[in-house]
């Protein structure tokens, strides 16, 4: 992989990491908020709280993927398919900078190997 592309993808990953960390922190602060209201409001409060938990968990998973990609960059294994060892295409990495598998292996893993 050329150094220019690697630098561009690393910068995108770092920006994504900062954004995710900020969002997770903000949502955690919202979830910690105290409930105020009547019984009817409590149902809405619980629903909103569960929704925030779900969103935050997805963002935590995405943050783990980003951190994993940054780790692979640091260890010179970024852009290499973890399954077959082939180079992951430039197009795939531009679309999904956290990709761990080449498109062929991803299809096989997902069961779409037609």
pTM of the model: 0.80
Distance of CA 78 to the CA centre of its chain: 16
> Domains in the chain: how many in total?
2
Co-location of 74 and 85 in the same domain: no
Using an 8 Å Cβ cutoff, are 66 and 98 in contact? yes
Same domain, 73 and 85: no
Q: In angstroms, rounded to a whole number, what is the distance separating the alpha carbons of residues 49 and 38?
A: 16
- 74 and 94 in a single domain? The answer is no
> Residue 49 has what pLDDT?
73
Q: What is the pLDDT of residue 22?
A: 95
Q: What HEC string does 26-60 produce?
A: HHHHHHCCCCCCCHHHHHHHHHHHHHHHHHHHHHH
User: 84 and 72, same structural domain?
Assistant: no
Residues 93 and 114 in one domain: yes
114 residues of the chain, pLDDT tens digit each: 899 999 999 999 999 999 999 999 988 777 666 656 665 666 666 777 787 778 889 999 999 999 999 999 999 999 999 999 999 999 999 999 999 999 999 999 998 645
For residue 35, the model assigns a pLDDT of 58
Question: Counting runs of H as helices and runs of E as strands, what totals does the chain give?
Answer: 4, 0
């Amino acid at each position: 992989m050329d150094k220019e592309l690697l630098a561009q993808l690393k910068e995108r990953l770092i920006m994504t990491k900062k954004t995710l960390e900020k969002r997770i922190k903000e949502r955690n602060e919202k979830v910690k908020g105290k409930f105020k209201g009547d019984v009817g409001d409590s149902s809405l409060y619980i629903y909103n709280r569960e929704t925030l938990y779900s969103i935050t968990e997805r963002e935590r998973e995405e943050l783990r993927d980003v951190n994993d990609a940054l780790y692979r960059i640091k260890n010179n294994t970024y852009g290499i398919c973890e399954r077959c060892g082939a180079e992951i295409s430039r197009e795939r990495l531009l679309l999904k900078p956290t990709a761990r598998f080449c498109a062929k292996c991803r299809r096989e893993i997902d069961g779409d190997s037609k």
